[in-house]
C-alpha cells in the first residue's frame, strides 16, 4: 500500500466560507459589510453565493483576503414555490477552460426554475459546469432531498455536510448521511461545511456568521490555488476542531487534531473504530487505524467536548493499492 499525505501539517491553510448571502439577494447586509464581518473573524476567503445572481468582486481582494466568484442556484420544486426543491452552490473554477462564457458580476438568473422531470437537476448542474463552475449539492437534509439523488445525479464535486443557517433555524443541518450514501455507492465527492448566513438578526447573541467553514491547504491565497485544492480534496470542514494532518503511512491512516473528545473513523464496508479516552476523559490529539484493502473509503470525524465536529475528506482505498500505481 502506498504512503500518501492528504493534509500536511507543515503547509499553510486558509479558512473560508463558501456559502453566504448579501443584500444582492435575501441577505440583510451589503457585500462590503459581510466581507468585513468575515475578515474580523479571521477568514481568508469567502464566496458570495447570492440566490440567482452571480458575483465577481475582485475589488474586495487583497494579499490577505479574497472573494471567490459564485452564486446559489435553486428552485426545481415539484410543487411551484414549495419545498423541497434543489439548491446548488456554484463556484467559479479557473482551472478549466469552459465550453461556454463565464458568468459576469451581478449577472441575474431567472427563478423559479420549473421542474420538468427527473432530469431537471442534472440539466441545471450541467449548465453550471459548462460555464466553468464547480457545483455543490447544498443543504440536502433541510431540503428533504432523496438519498438516491446523491447517486442518480452527477458532476457535483461536493455535498454540503453542515449548513449553519439551517441548524439554528430548523435543526436540519447535517448532510453526512447523504455523503456516506454517495460514497458507499462509489461517488468521489467531498464534504463542505458552510454558514449560509443571511444576517437577518440585527442584535444576535448567537452568531449567524462563523458557524461552519472549510480549511484549505493551498500553495497560495489565490482564486486559482484555492479552487485547485478544493478539487483535489485538500481541505477539511469544521464547526470548531482543527485537523492538523492526515496521512497514510505503512498501511495506517493517521490523523492529528486539536484536543477532541472522540475521533471516529468512518470506513466502508468494514466499520472503523470510534476512539475516545473513555476512562480518563482526557482529550485526544491523534489516532490511527489500519487500512484494510477491502475498504472502499475511510473518512474521519473529530468531535470536541462541546460537540463541534471536524470532518476530513474521504481517503479512497483503491488509490493506495500498489496496482493503482502507473
Kindly list the residues in this chain that would bind Zn ion in the complex (CB under 5 A): 72, 87, 138, 196
Minimum CB–partner distance for residue 215 and Zn ion (Å): 21
In whole angstroms, the minimum distance from the beta carbon of 139 to Zn ion comes to 6
- Residues 234, 237, 243, 249: is their CA dihedral positive or negative? negative
- CB nearer to Zn ion: give 92 or 256: 92
Provide the β-strand partners of residue 238: 213, 310
Helices assigned H by DSSP within the chain? 31-40, 120-130, 149-152, 164-170, 176-184, 223-232
Q: Which is nearer to Zn ion, 72 or 141 (CB)?
A: 72
Task: Provide the minimum distance between the beta carbon of 298 and Zn ion in the complex, in angstroms, as a whole number.
Answer: 30
CB-nearer residue toward Zn ion: 163 or 215 = 163
Cis amide leading into 203 (omega within 30): no
Query: What are 296's three cell numbers?
Result: 472502499
For the chain, the C-alpha Rg in angstroms (whole number) is 19
Residue tagged 492526515 (cell numbers): 246
Counts of helices then strands in the chain (DSSP H, E) = 6, 19
State the minimum distance, in angstroms, from the CB of residue 145 to Zn ion.
11
| Closer by beta carbon to Zn ion, 48 or else 310 | 48
Q: What distance lies between CA 284 and its chain's CA centroid?
A: 25
Residue 122 or 169 having the CB closest to Zn ion: 169
What does 13-74 look like in DSSP terms, one character per residue? Answer: EEEEE--B--TTTT-SS-HHHHHHHHHHTT-SEE----BTB-B--GGG--SS-EE--EEEEE
- Secondary structure element (H or E) that encloses residue 289, with its range: strand 284-290
For the CB of residue 72, give the shortest distance to Zn ion in the complex, in Å: 5
Closest CB to Zn ion: residue number: 87
Q: Which is nearer to Zn ion, 121 or 241 (CB)?
A: 121
- Least distance from Zn ion to the Cβ atom of residue 196, Å: 4
CB atoms within 10 A of CB 10: 8
Nearer Cβ to Zn ion (44/87): 87
Measured over the CA atoms of residue 200, residue 158, residue 108 and residue 86, the dihedral's sign is negative
Smallest gap from Cβ 230 to Zn ion, in A, equals: 18
Angle in degrees, CA 1, 215, 157, rounded to 5: 70
CB closer to Zn ion, 173 vs 218: 173
- Shortest approach of Zn ion to residue 158 CB, angstroms? 14
8 A C-beta contact, residue 162 and residue 239 = yes
Amino acid at each position: 500500500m502506498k504512503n500518501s499525505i492528504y493534509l500536511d501539517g507543515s503547509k499553510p491553510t486558509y479558512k473560508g466560507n463558501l456559502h453566504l448571502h448579501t443584500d444582492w439577494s435575501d441577505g440583510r447586509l451589503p457585500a462590503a459589510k459581510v466581507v468585513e464581518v468575515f475578515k474580523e473573524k479571521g477568514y481568508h476567503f469567502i464566496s458570495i453565493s447570492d440566490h440567482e445572481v452571480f458575483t465577481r468582486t475582485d475589488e474586495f481582494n487583497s494579499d490577505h483576503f479574497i472573494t471567490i466568484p459564485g452564486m446559489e442556484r435553486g428552485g426545481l420544486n415539484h410543487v411551484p414555490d414549495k419545498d423541497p426543491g434543489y439548491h446548488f452552490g456554484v463556484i467559479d473554477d479557473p482551472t478549466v477552460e469552459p465550453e461556454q462564457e463565464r458568468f459576469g458580476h451581478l449577472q441575474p438568473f431567472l427563478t423559479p426554475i420549473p421542474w420538468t422531470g427527473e432530469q431537471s437537476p442534472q440539466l441545471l448542474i450541467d449548465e453550471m459546469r459548462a460555464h466553468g463552475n464547480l457545483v455543490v449539492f447544498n443543504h440536502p437534509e433541510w431540503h428533504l432531498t432523496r438519498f438516491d439523488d446523491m447517486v442518480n445525479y452527477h458532476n457535483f464535486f461536493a455535498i454540503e455536510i453542515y449548513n449553519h443557517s439551517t441548524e439554528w433555524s430548523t435543526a436540519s443541518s447535517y448532510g453526512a448521511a447523504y455523503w456516506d450514501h454517495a460514497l458507499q455507492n462509489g461517488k468521489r465527492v467531498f464534504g463542505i461545511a458552510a454558514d449560509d448566513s443571511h444576517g437577518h438578526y440585527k442584535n444576535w447573541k448567537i452568531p449567524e456568521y462563523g458557524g461552519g467553514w472549510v480549511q484549505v491547504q493551498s500553495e497560495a491565497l489565490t482564486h486559482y490555488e484555492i479552487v485547485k485544492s478544493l478539487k483535489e480534496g485538500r481541505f477539511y470542514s469544521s464547526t470548531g476542531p482543527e485537523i492538523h494532518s492526515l496521512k497514510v503511512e505503512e498501511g495506517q491512516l493517521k490523523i492529528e487534531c486539536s484536543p477532541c473528545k472522540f475521533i471516529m473513523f468512518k470506513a466502508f464496508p468494514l466499520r472503523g473504530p470510534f476512539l475516545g479516552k473513555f476512562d480518563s476523559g482526557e482529550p485526544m490529539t491523534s489516532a490511527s487505524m489500519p487500512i484494510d484493502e477491502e475498504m472502499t473509503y475511510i473518512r474521519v470525524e473529530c468531535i470536541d467536548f462541546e460537540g463541534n465536529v471536524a470532518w476530513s475528506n474521504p481517503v479512497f482505498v483503491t488509490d493506495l493499492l500498489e496496482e493503482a500505481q502507473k
